[in-house]
Amino acid sequence: MTVTEVSAGWVPVAAALLLVVAAAAASLDGALAARSAGQPLGGGLLTPVAETARLFGQRRRTTVAADLPLQRIGTAGLLTAALLMVAVVPFGRWTVADLTVGVVWFNAMDVLVWAAVWLAGWGPNSAHPLVGGYRFLAQALSYELPLMFALTAPAVAAGSLRLGDVVAAQSGLWFVVWMPVAFAVFCVAVAGFSVWGPLGAPAGATTAGGVFVEAAGVDRWLLSVGRYALLTAGAAFGATAFLGGGHGPLLPAWLWLLVKTAALLAVLVALRRRLPVVRPEQLAAPAWLVALPLVLLQVLVVSVVVVVQA
Amino acid sequence: MDLSSLAARRTTVLAVEVPGWSRTRCALEQHARTRGWRLADSPADADLLVVCGRPGARLTAAVDHVWGQLPGPRARAEVTTADAVPAALDRAAAELADGTVQRRDADARPADPDPGTTATGDDGEMDMGDGDMDHGDMDHGDMDHGDMDMDMPMPGGIGLAGGGGDDQLADPDSLDLDVLHVPLGPVLPHWPAGLLLHTTLQGDLVVAARAEVLLPADDDSPTDPPVHGTPAGRWDAVATLLALAGWDDSAVRAARVRDELLAGGQPPGADRLARRITRSRLLRWSLRGLGRLPEGDAHDRLRHWLTGTEERRSTELSTVADLVTGLDLASARLVVASLDLDTADRVTVPVEAGS
């Protein structure tokens, strides 16, 4: 299966697709929330639409001596990073940007999120968002290095940093089968850069919403959508790098990618409600003492297999 | 279905509980939930501000300040009995949907954000939890140097957060982060009613704390019985602690158990939920060792609430301040929630901890 780069005219379509899948994730989250509240699921499914209507009708607000340019950059940064991430993910046989360094590009975009969340926390000149920003950086120090090595594993196995090649290398066996540790670490890191679930402390209730505290109206909308978009982009990348991308019987390649992305996304959304938040300072020890050595071992195993096969 | 009625489905409520009116706040949470509404995390998140009870002067000032932080469209209500909640919510929702009222409200508001008041006052000066004015410590050491005042721009007319100033304390990580004076409460979700904790933060570390309770109005007392000390009160404490621990699913289910108990029913899922909460390893890991008192830590107290074996005890405000000093903000919030303070029967003597 070869991947062809489509013309730039398709970029809005790709962006719209990302937003639609992200909205579906928000719907699922709303439905699960309605279920635990004992409310009809239908209302929960409408959550993204209703919340959008509410926030678009709400006034924006500023705070005293806010650093507005940086705050705005941070607020828009999450969605921007997510859009740039999916640019390199092949949608079946097509891709928006067929970069030779696709894996590194994804990694670079996830580091961009560091800046975005920090600026969104710094900008309002308010204590709670600032603490949210601190926490994100503390947490990022824990998940980022394991994530980088987890991304190395599929690249080593495929012998290429181009995502099209990574997908092609999985025509026989999905990478998740022989790199389960890298896949698990990757999924935790997706939750990390999406400020999601157990790694949601930077936006958690202990800081009254963290980086979200002072955001209202369209700013809050951008932050929320950015979070869901990052989660979606992470799931799409995970489906591509570990779950075989477009490979699968009967269905066309693009549909397989969509199904796998949706499945991984649904698991991430469902896990959020089932797990409490981990305090960032607690995360450092297991991340550096358990996850990092394990994922290095994983890369070693993959490398040995590749060398032996060659 | 037009946009505003769609938006109304997600109406977000900021609840303010006055000490003594916990029953009213529980009713508010229940009615908000059955309408499919949400509880707000912060003023910026809220459409409605609902005060449960009759606040005294200082608490009223805090509530008014928070009211100014709601972005709008906005509406506010005050309820004093559980039975009055549905009608009050209906009225507030109607006001929220009334374009004329909202436009008039918007026109009357100042364009610039309200700078708030300083964090130093014990003299009736007021602060609230999620303020946009958290740097407002005017008695800061740096401010006494006249030449610095001349040269340094003061953004928004507020003093710069100090690093290395008089109140800088030894930091275990030697980071010498900015010293901020941040009041926690009295308007803060998942927080004891009326509690105002003046904290000094270095980074997100609480290096000093002083606690007091803001009183209700003198001329009124709640008619509903208190929730504290009843089985429903224990589930309320569970719901609060779990919401702070970020376990939304179980927090909402615990609140539902509380509401069924308050309605006089026997909640069927209570035992299963209790087992699920006690068994969670991640929760145990996150709460273990926090807020250690002679009888146990935060997780022990949670278990006692769930099994109904807790001993009623009264935690002094000074103990609260002592326990949170030296913790980061997240741990401090969890510790305060784990104490399940009953602020309704408390005197308002400020107590200090830290150095």
In this predicted model, which residue has the larger pLDDT, B149 or B314?
B314
Task: Give the pLDDT confidence score for residue B114 in this predicted structure.
Answer: 66
**Is A209–B45 a contact, with Cβ atoms under 8 angstroms apart?**
yes
Q: Does the CB of A65 have a partner CB in chain B at under 8 Å?
A: yes
Q: What is the pLDDT of residues A263-293, one digit of tens each?
A: 999 999 999 888 999 988 889 999 999 999 9
Site of tokens 């006692």? B304
For residue B221, the Cα-to-chain-centroid distance in whole angstroms is: 21
**Is B134–A214 a contact, with Cβ atoms under 8 angstroms apart?**
no
Site of tokens 């990073």? A81
| Position B154 in a domain | no
Mean pLDDT of chain A: 91
**Is B132–A124 a contact, with Cβ atoms under 8 angstroms apart?**
yes
Q: What is the pLDDT of residues B220-266, one digit of tens each?
A: 888 888 888 888 999 999 999 999 999 999 999 999 999 999 998 88
| Position B55 in a domain | yes
Q: What is the pLDDT of residues A159-198, one digit of tens each?
A: 999 999 999 999 889 999 999 999 999 999 999 999 998 9
**Angstrom distances, CA of residue B193 to CA of B28, B77, B96, B184, B196:** 14, 17, 26, 12, 9
CA-CA distance, B90 to B176, in Å (whole number)? 50
Domain enclosing residue B81, as ranges: 11-106
Residue B1 clears pLDDT 60, i.e. is over it: no
User: Quick count: other Cβ atoms within 10 Å of Cβ B320?
Assistant: 24
| Integer Rg of chain A from CA | 19
In this predicted model, which residue has the larger pLDDT, B121 or B311?
B311
CA distance A27 to chain B (A): 13
Task: Give the pLDDT confidence score for residue B151 in this predicted structure.
Answer: 44
Closest residue, chain A, to B206 (C-alpha): A131
How many separate domains does chain B show? 1
Q: Tell me, letter by letter, the H, E, C secondary structure of A66-120.
A: CCHHHHHHHHHHHHHHHHHHHCCCCECCEECCCCCCHHHHHHHHHHHHHHHHHHH
Q: How confident is the model at residue B155 (pLDDT cuts 50, 70, 90)?
A: low
| Position B88 in a domain | yes
| Position B17 in a domain | yes
Residue A17 clears pLDDT 60, i.e. is over it: yes
| Position B331 in a domain | no
Closest residue, chain A, to B156 (C-alpha): A65
Task: Give the pLDDT confidence score for residue B136 in this predicted structure.
Answer: 36
Q: What is the pLDDT of residues B90-140, one digit of tens each?
A: 999 999 998 898 899 888 888 777 665 544 434 333 344 444 443 333 333
Closest residue, chain A, to B73 (C-alpha): A58
Query: What secondary structure does DSSP assign to A9-77, as a single string?
Result: GGHHHHHHHHHHHHHHHHHHHHHHHHHHTT--HHHHHTHHHHHHHHHHTSPP---TT--HHHHHHHHHH
Residue B160 clears pLDDT 90, i.e. is over it: no
CA-CA distance, A123 to A73, in Å (whole number)? 9
For position B60, which CATH number holds? Answer: 3.40.50
Pick the closest to residue B239 from A309, A36, A78 (CA basis): A36
Instruction: Report helix, strand or coil for B43.
Output: helix
Inter-residue contact A100 to A162 (CB < 8 Å): yes
Q: Does the CB of A215 have a partner CB in chain B at under 8 Å?
A: yes
The ipTM, to two decimals, is 0.91
CA-CA distance, A119 to A121, in Å (whole number)? 5
Task: Give the pLDDT confidence score for residue B159 in this predicted structure.
Answer: 56
Chain A residues closer than 8 Å to B285 by CB: 278, 282
Residue A303 clears pLDDT 90, i.e. is over it: yes
Q: What is the pLDDT of residues A31-43, one digit of tens each?
A: 999 998 888 888 8
Question: Which residue type, as a one-letter code, is found at position A15?
Answer: A
| Position B307 in a domain | no
The Cα angle at residue B343 between residues B342 and B346, in degrees rounded to 5 = 115
| Position B136 in a domain | no
Sorted by where each begins, the domain ranges of chain A are 4-309
Task: Tell me the percentage of chain A whose pLDDT exceeds 90.
Answer: 67
| Position B147 in a domain | no
Chain B residues closer than 8 Å to A131 by CB: 201, 203-204, 329
Residue A233 clears pLDDT 90, i.e. is over it: yes
